[in-house]
Amino acid sequence: MTVGTDAGAARKPFYTVLYIQVLIGIVLGGIVGWLWPAFATNDWIKALGDMFVSLIRMVIPLIIFCTVVSGIAHINNARKVGRVGIKALVYFEIVSTFALILGLVVGELLQPGAGFSGHGDANAVATFAKQADAMKTIDMVTHLVPSSAIGAFASGDILQVLLFSILFGFSLMALGERAKLVTDFIDQATHVVFGIIAIVMKAAPIGAFGAMAFTIGRYGTGAIVNLLGLIAVFYITAIIFVVVVLGLIARIAGFNIFRYLAYIKDELLIVLGTSSSESALPQLMEKLERLGCSKSVVGLVVPTGYSFNLDGTNIYMTLATLFISQALGVHISFEQEITILLVAMLTSKGASGITGAGFITLAATLAVVSPELVPGMAIVLGIDKFMSECRALTNITGNGVATIIVSWWEGELDRDKLNAALRRDIDPSDVETAVTTG
């Protein structure tokens, strides 16, 4: 059990608090990238951010395997696993639809691409378009099954690891007491892996500095100013989604969305600095357990959500599609808008775990809706790095809320823990204490 109070947290020097360190790293990185772009785009600076994300991704398959297997093995009821999975998927599809519609409505009302006179290099999107062309529904389904269990872990494919982990967990469940030794080993291994995360997180400020410095140095402020309208509309839409849609859902479940955002501020800043929601996945899972969500629900919902509950990506796809159509002067009919919703619902699941997934799914959506829109991707390519940060922030927020909702729906949400954590009766940043005493 985690111990600590506000008074204890207050005695901790401010410079030792993780989110303060990450925030300082982000600010310094932005300044260095702005003032010394040549230095900021040095391979060694870029490596700081890349290596930190790689360190996190290194243990993500193990985190998923241990938490999912342990959660299922302790359930002793196969129906519950299926029930949790179905509830999670139902929630994902409902909320994802809201995200898609919101992006579509905002794009129609504000017309961010109307009168746009800029242009981009159409050749720059060739790689993304080719990857999008290769995305077929049957490929999405067959890709779920790895060619080997080791291959799933080696590639770090979340859905493949999740599938193997579920099968492994069901096998342990069926064996019962005969598998107790293996179950106990996995339970202990979970603590070890989270201990690794606690060590790796000490490098988060350095990773955030490197990633932010390179981003600003490489893309500069020119790309931001050039398409500031689209960036502003996207960020405002994402904020509306989090505050209104997720806020209403949170209120129905009995908690405050702003208190929850404050609770996961460390993870949000890490995502902001690295532009990757995966970089905060292990720590998010650990915090959700301490927030009162059951271990089995966390283990099933969070990894699945990273492929099926991409709220930020959904908003981006519908909004960017309308922006491109408006910028190119291509009329989108009501029937095509419905097609955008249906296609985006599928393509958002098709590129999970792929570098530049948001851009690839946009290419796939545009190709189906109207092939003449695909070259327009060059317009938004220059600012995609800045858009990806907002996508990642919205995605991780949505997945955390989804886990709380499914736990509540399943009747396995510890209200006392939830209220204590959101009131900050405990120190949410004290990960190491939770790992060693949990």
Q: Tens digits of per-residue pLDDT, 420-431?
A: 999 875 555 554
For 110-122, give the DSSP string: H-TTTT------G
Burial 287-296 (b: 16+ CB within 10 A, else e): bbbbbbbbbb
pLDDT at 433: 43
From CA 111, how far away is CA 51, in angstroms rounded?
39
**What 3-state class would DSSP assign to 146?**
coil
Q: Where are the domains of the chain?
A: 6-437
From CA 367, how far away is CA 375, in angstroms rounded?
10
pTM greater than the 0.85 cutoff: no
Is residue 248 scored above 90 in pLDDT?
A: yes
Determine phi and psi for 70, rounding to 5 degrees: -65, -45
pLDDT one-digit tens code per residue, 357-388: 666 677 767 777 777 787 777 777 667 777 88
Pick the CATH number of 6-437 from 1.10.275.10, 1.10.10.10, 1.10.3860.10, 3.10.20.740: 1.10.3860.10
Is residue 400 scored above 70 in pLDDT?
A: yes
From CA 427, how far away is CA 1, in angstroms rounded?
12
From CA 356, how far away is CA 346, in angstroms rounded?
17
Q: CB neighbours of 294 closer than 8 A, spacing ≥ 6?
A: 71, 407, 410, 412, 413
Burial 341-356 (b: 16+ CB within 10 A, else e): bebbbebbbbbbbeeb
pLDDT at 425: 58
**What 3-state class would DSSP assign to 91?**
helix
66-83 average pLDDT score: 78
- Beta-bridge partners for 427: none
pLDDT at 116: 64
From CA 47, how far away is CA 375, in angstroms rounded?
31
Measured CA distances, 38 to 50, 174, 316 (Å): 18, 59, 31
- Beta-bridge partners for 413: 293
